[in-house]
Amino acid sequence: MKAGYLPKLLFSPSVFLVLVCVYGYIMFTIYLSFTTSTMLPQYDWAGTANYTRLLGLDNWQVSLGNLATFAGLYIVIAMALGLGLAILIDQKIRAESAFRSIFLYPMALSFIVTGTAWKWLLDPGVGLERSMHLLGWESFSFTWIKDSEMAIYCVVIAAVWQTSGFVMAMFLAGLRGVDTEQVNAAKVDGARTWQIYLRIILPQLGPVFVSAFVILAHMAIKSYDLVIALTNGGPGRSTWLPSVFMYQYTFTRNEMAVGAASSVLMLVAIGAVVLPYLFSEMRKVKNG
Amino acid sequence: MANAHTHAIVHVHGASGIQPRLDLARIALYAVLFACAVVFLMPVYVMVVNSFKPLDEIRSGNLMSLPIDWTVAPWLSAWSTAQIGVEPTGLRPFFINSFLLVIPAVVLSTLIGALNGYILTQFKFRGANLMFAAMLFSVFIPFQIVLIPMAKTLGFLGLAGTVKGLIFVNTVYGIGFTTLFFRNYYAAFPAELIRSARMDGAGFFGVMLRILLPNSTPIIVVTVIWQFTNIWNEFLFGASFSDFSSYPLTVALNNLVNSSTGVKEYNVHFAGAFIAALPTLIVYMVSGKYFVRGLMAGSVKG
C-alpha cells in the first residue's frame, strides 16, 4: 500500500533521531578529529595533524597491538569452541537443553559481572593459583593477570567464556538446517562420522562461519567494559584497547581531537568488517 | 554380531543424523560435555559460595570450597553499606536507578520498533529501504564515535548526569535492533488478515492495535528480553553520561570493585556482582528460549 501522510509522519521521529544521533554525530566526531579540540570541542581547523600524532603515539600502537592479539585469539578460540560444543550437542545427547543453557547463560551477564568474577579467579593471591597450592600442587603458577606480557590473554579467557555459547547456538542452528539426505546417503556408503562432518556438514555451514566471524570481530573492536572491569587497562597500559585509548584521551587527558580521531579509526575498522556483510545479506534478501 | 544387533535397535530410534551408540566414544562425549559444563559454571559457583564466606575465610582458605562459617553479611554490605566511590550507600540506590532506566527505555524502544516495523512492511514510500539499512548499520557502530556530541546534546537539553538522559540515549540506540526485530516479524505476517481488516474499515491504528499487536506476543517478548538484557548490562553510556546520583548498577559495581582502597572485600564484591547479575539471569532462566531467538535474530541480519 502506498503511504499516506500518517505513516510517514509517524516514521519521521525515528528517521530524525537516527539521522541526527547516529549519522550526524558521526559527521560531528569526524569533524572534531580535524580540529584543535582539547578539553572541550573547538572548531579551529588542524588538518590531519591529529591523525599524524595518533599514529605516532606509543599508547595507540600498544592499543592496536593488543587488539590484534586479543581479536585474533578471541575469534579463533570462540569459533573453535563454539563449533566443537555445537557438534557435541548435536549427537542426540540426553539433557541437551540443560547443556545448551549452561553454555549460553554467560551471554545474559554484564561484562562488568564477568570481569569481576574472573578478576578474582585469575588473581594469584586468592584465585586458581592459590586453590591449586592448597590442593597440594605447590609449584603451580598462574600470574598472567599481574604480568604485563600475559594480561591480555586473561581478557581473551574471560571473553571466550562469555561468548562461545552464543557461537555454539549459531552453529547449532546451522547444523539443524543441514540437508539430512546427503548425510544419510554418505552413511549408507559407509562414511565415518568425522568424514561426514568434514566433507558434507561443515562446507554447508559456510554462512554461519561468516556470520560468527562478523559478530565476533565487531564485538572485539568494541570491547571496553570487560577490560575495564577485569584489568582496568593494566598492569600499566598492557591491556589497553582502542576503546580504552579513546576514553582516556577524550575524557581524562584532554586530547579530545586525538580521541575523536581514534574513534573514527574504530568506526572505519568496523565498517570494513560489517558493511560488506550487510550488503551481501541485503542482496540475498532481495534476490531470495 | 552383538554389535550389529544394538546398532539395529538404536537405528529405529535415531531416524536421522548421527546414530547414538553406547560405547566408549559415547562415554567420552558425555565426559567432555560434563567437563565443559563445569568450567562454564565455575565462575558463578565461585561468586556464590564466596559471597557467603567471611573475609578471613577467603584469605586463608580455598576459593573453590564451600563456606565453613556461612554468613549473609557480605550481601547486606553490598546491598546497603558498601563504599561506592566515597559514599557508603551500597548498591541499592543504583539497583533502583537501573530499574528506573530500564523500564521506560525498554517500553519506549519496543513501541517505536513495533511502529517502525509496521510502517516499513505495510507501506511503500521512497527511501524506506535506505532508512532501514541506515538503522541496521547503527546497531554495529562503536559508540565511542557518538560519545562527545551526545555529551554536548545532553548538556544542552539539561539531561546531563540524569537517569532521563540515559533513558534517551538507550532508547535512541535501541531503535535499530527493535525495528529490525519487528520488521522481520511483520514481513512474514499473513497479508490477507491485514487486507480484510482494511476492507472492514480499519484505519492505520485499527490495523496496528486490532490485528498486528494482538498477534505479536512472541516478537514483543523477544524484543523486551533483548532490550532489558542489553540496557541492564550497558556500561559505556552509564560511565560517560551519569553522575553519582544517576549511576546505573554496572557503573556502581565497577566502582565498588575497582576503586576500593585498602582492604579488598572479595566477598562483598562477589555478592555485589551477583546482585547485578540476578535480574538478567532470572529473565534468562524463565525465558531462555526467547533470549536465544533474540540473539539469533540479532545475529542473522537482513
Per-residue model confidence as pLDDT tens digits over B72-126: 999 999 999 888 878 889 999 999 999 999 999 999 999 999 999 999 999 989 8
Nearest CA in chain A to B113: A14
Inside any domain, residue A41: no
Inside any domain, residue A1: no
Rounding to the nearest 10 degrees, give the CA dihedral for residues A51, A55, A57, A58: 160
Q: Is B146's CB within 8 Å of A165's CB? A: no
Q: Does B209 touch chain A (CB under 8 A)?
A: no
Burial of B172 (0-12, 13-18, 19+ CB in 10 A): buried
Nearest CA in chain A to B228: A108
Instruction: Name the B residues in 11-50 with CB < 8 Å from any A CB.
Output: 14, 16-20, 29-30, 32-33, 36-37, 39-44, 46-47, 50
CA angle B254, B260, B265 (to 5 degrees): 95
Inside any domain, residue A35: no
Sign of the four-CA dihedral A187, A192, A194, A198: negative
What is the CATH code of the structural domain delimited by B92-299? 1.10.3720.10
Inside any domain, residue A33: no
ipTM: 0.92
Q: Is B62's CB within 8 Å of A102's CB? A: no
Inside any domain, residue A173: yes
Q: Is B125's CB within 8 Å of A7's CB? A: yes
Structural domains counted in chain A: 1
B1 near B10, Cβ under 8 Å? no
Q: Is the pLDDT of residue A23 over 50?
A: yes
Q: Is A250's CB within 8 Å of B134's CB? A: no
Q: What are the beta bridge partners of residue B203?
A: none
* C-alpha separations of B133 from A18, A211, B99, B115, B128 in Å: 11, 17, 31, 17, 9
Over residues A98-114, the mean pLDDT reads: 94
DSSP letter for A201, please: I
**What ranges do the domains of chain B cover?**
1-41, 92-299
How many Å apart are CA A143 and CA A129, to the nearest integer? 8
Q: What are the beta bridge partners of residue A2?
A: B124
Q: Is B140's CB within 8 Å of A270's CB? A: yes
How many Å apart are CA B46 and CA B65, to the nearest integer? 9
Check which CATH number belongs to the domain holding A107 and give it: 1.10.3720.10
Inside any domain, residue A161: yes
Higher pLDDT, B247 or A280: B247
A108 near B282, Cβ under 8 Å? no
Nearest CA in chain A to B264: A120
How many Å apart are CA A86 and CA A93, to the nearest integer? 11
Inside any domain, residue A164: yes
Nearest CA in chain B to A88: B29
Best mutation target, A120, A135, A268, to test chain B (most B CBs within 10 A): A120
Q: Is B137's CB within 8 Å of A275's CB? A: yes
Task: Please give the residue range of the domain that contains residue A132.
Answer: 58-178+206-287
Q: Is B269's CB within 8 Å of A116's CB? A: yes
Q: Which residues of B touch A222 (CB under 8 A)?
A: 142-143
A114 near A161, Cβ under 8 Å? yes
Q: How does pLDDT run across B170-229, given as a tens digit for each residue?
A: 999 999 999 999 999 999 888 888 888 888 888 899 999 999 999 999 999 999 999 999
Inside any domain, residue A213: yes
Nearest CA in chain B to A261: B145
Q: Is the pLDDT of residue B127 over 80?
A: yes
Residue A280, φ and ψ in degrees, nearest 5: -70, -35
Burial of B219 (0-12, 13-18, 19+ CB in 10 A): buried
How many Å apart are CA A124 and CA B238, to the nearest integer? 31
Query: Residue B45, CB half-sphere, CA atoms under 13 Å: how many?
Result: 13
